[in-house]
Chain A
């Protein structure tokens, strides 16, 4: 009971820090803080259309968060998730373009998911291979590959896949409606996307909890030396974790193409990969907390789009709130361990 009480106290404490900090930032920018908060709230949940935008952001965020749970388990920092999502989108677009000529277009829509997963997994395997065989830290390998993926997208949009006549940052030509993810007009959402996210969450939870892979990932992550003595191949499981992460990120990229934008554009990944890293950290690597935090972050992202229109502020305020939340959570967590250490010392 006291533990619950303490946790709630800590959460409130962290929220107060974040709230104070963000308010100060808003005041520094010369903006009315409460009006800004109100517009973010209204912008995210004020109408059904906006709520559907939130869900459209929530889907890729949660998918990436699922993937990251595998890599974090084994202590890998899969910063390359952003590029993995981009490559998922590239492979999906390639598959759909291939299908344009075919008489069975809708079939290619379903192939494109597999293509997206493959694309993300290939990119993740690249980073994993560089880490295990090339001795390159996964952060740098991932980042480098992110930049390469961005370059590939730009090259495709301005080169081979450019729109007839004009090549521009607005992306490739929009696919015909037959190539769009089935969409319920009544709720402006695709049941397929929601179904895939639920499936991803369930699979990840089961994999990490009940399978050998899940156990080994955790064993290596917690104690690499003990795992080595047990004969668990670290490199192999690192690659497996990367493949899962890349696969989920690729699926997220795939859904961005088929379900949201219906074309390939430079900002197809919208930084959701990086944001998912923050989601998982704030969820304290807990799979059941991650979707809720992803939802909250999605609200912030969608809501803050209102800021430039209504208050002439930059929409990056959402990033400031999200970052300070994670920092505050880390600080509170550190404070707790610090106190625990001290109280142990007191008993001795």
Chain B
């Protein structure tokens, strides 16, 4: 790791970020509709395990990815059903499911540990990958990476440029008002939770079939779910900003590998935890952007104001508080 090639660096950032982008997008959709799915970390592992096992047994990658999506959808539907219809705490149900799905993944996947299985082959886009610098970064990847990049734009477009997206956002802001406008808020919250969960499931599949191929205990995807949850807040519930956060996180992870080469005396695990305190730090900054005193202090300083503006955002008004019909 002594040589330092920018193209390789960026290409590995984009590749490594693919599952994180998918998970963060899924959670953004879910939370925009007013539901917090805290079970991400376990869901990713369970769907990673299931996709790997199914892809290994059937030899079909597509079936593997579909399995991942279905598993993600099922777990998300549990969270949504418990909270929207049974009115239990989303945080409690999500947390229990995080631990349980993780253990379920380790238990059921035990006999498939550390074996060679199918994995997604790179798919170079002809001609485009010949563009210097950009080519290998954006067009020399595999289909999972292309899909993750495309979904960023599609999610944004759906949320902010379509009538369905407007409905989705209105449910997260005020489910009661949406209900009186003729939207079945509870049903839609279920639907969007499942949609978001399917993205999370795909993220798991992307781990075990592409980014970190194979299954084992630990798989290597541990902790990603929590990062994705933090990224949603970091991105201010905006899919594009959340995705930027995912790339930043991936950058930190890749840099960790380089740092390890440069400072071999420090154990690798230290660099692996570095992104987490940084994440807390950004959350603190985001909180500061909402304080009057800080805003008035930044009034004169233009560049600080623009930085603060970049970080400022508010959660959907009814996040975590599903509506109870009378």
Contacts and interface: CB of A to CB of B under 8 A. Distances in A.
Interface of A: 25, 28-30, 77, 79, 130, 134-137, 139-141, 143-145, 147-148, 150-151, 154-155, 158-159, 274, 277-278, 281, 312-314, 316-320, 322-324, 326-327, 330-331, 333-335, 337-338
Interface in B221-259: 223, 226, 229-230, 233
Given A148-B273, A314-B106, A314-B110, A323 B99 contact: yes
Contact of A330 (B82, B270, B276): B82
A281 B223 CA distance: 23
Contacts of A154: 267, 269-270
A80 to B, nearest CB: 11
A330 B79 CA distance: 12
Given A144-B279, A278-B99, A313-B110, 19 more contacts: A29-B111, A77-B95, A134-B287, A137-B233, A140-B283, A144-B277, A147-B273, A148-B276, A154-B267, A155-B266, A155-B267, A155-B270, A158-B267, A158-B269, A159-B267, A281-B92, A313-B107, A316-B107, A334-B82
Contacts of B267: 154-155, 158-159
A331 B288 CA distance: 39
A28 B274 CA distance: 38
29 contacts: A25-B104, A28-B108, A130-B280, A134-B287, A135-B286, A135-B287, A137-B283, A140-B226, A144-B230, A144-B277, A147-B223, A147-B277, A148-B277, A151-B269, A151-B270, A154-B267, A155-B269, A158-B267, A159-B266, A278-B96, A314-B106, A314-B107, A316-B104, A320-B107, A323-B100, A327-B96, A330-B86, A330-B88, A334-B88
Interface string B81-124: 01000111001110111011011101111110000000000000
Contact of B283 (A136, A313, A330): A136
A316 to B, nearest CB: 4
Nearest to A324: B100
Nearest to B229: A140
Nearest to A150: B273
Interface residues of B, number: 47
A52 B248 CA distance: 48
B309 interface: no
B290 interface: yes
A134 B291 CA distance: 11
Nearest to A277: B95
Top 10 nearest A-B pairs (CB, nearest first) are: A323-B100, A135-B287, A319-B103, A334-B86, A151-B273, A316-B103, A314-B110, A316-B106, A158-B267, A147-B276
Contacts of A150: 269, 273
Contacts of A144: 230, 276-277, 279-280
A323 B101 CA distance: 9
A181 B9 CA distance: 51
Contacts of B223: 147
A25 B230 CA distance: 32
Contacts, number: 141
Contacts of B6: none
B98 to A, nearest CB: 9
A101 to B, nearest CB: 26
A25 B108 contact: yes
Given A29-B108, A29-B110, A324-B100, A333 B88 contact: yes
B100 A140 contact: no
B284 A320 contact: no
Contacts of A331: 82, 86
A143 B226 contact: yes
What does DSSP make chain B's interface, helix, strand, loop or mixed? Answer: helix
B104 A320 contact: yes
Contacts of A327: 78, 93, 96-97, 100
B280 A77 contact: no
Contact of A135 (B103, B106, B277, B284): B284
Contacts of A28: 108
B93 A330 contact: yes
B50 to A, nearest CB: 11
A333 B93 CA distance: 13
A318 B97 CA distance: 14
A222 to B, nearest CB: 14
A272 B88 CA distance: 24
A69 to B, nearest CB: 15
A219 B272 CA distance: 41
Contacts of B82: 330-331, 334
B217 interface: yes
B91 A323 contact: no
Contacts of A145: 280
A140 B230 contact: yes
Contacts of A335: 86
A319 B102 CA distance: 9
Contact of A326 (B86, B96, B110, B270): B96
B279 A274 contact: no
Contacts of A135: 283-284, 286-288, 290
Contacts of A130: 280, 284
A134 B91 CA distance: 21
A125 to B, nearest CB: 15
Contacts of B110: 29, 312-314
A165 B270 CA distance: 21
Contacts of A312: 110-111
A73 to B, nearest CB: 15
A317 B103 contact: yes
Contacts of B288: 135
A278 to B, nearest CB: 7
A319 B100 CA distance: 6
Given A135-B290, A155-B267, A323 B217 contact: no
A100 B223 CA distance: 37
Contacts of A151: 269-270, 272-274
B56 to A, nearest CB: 15
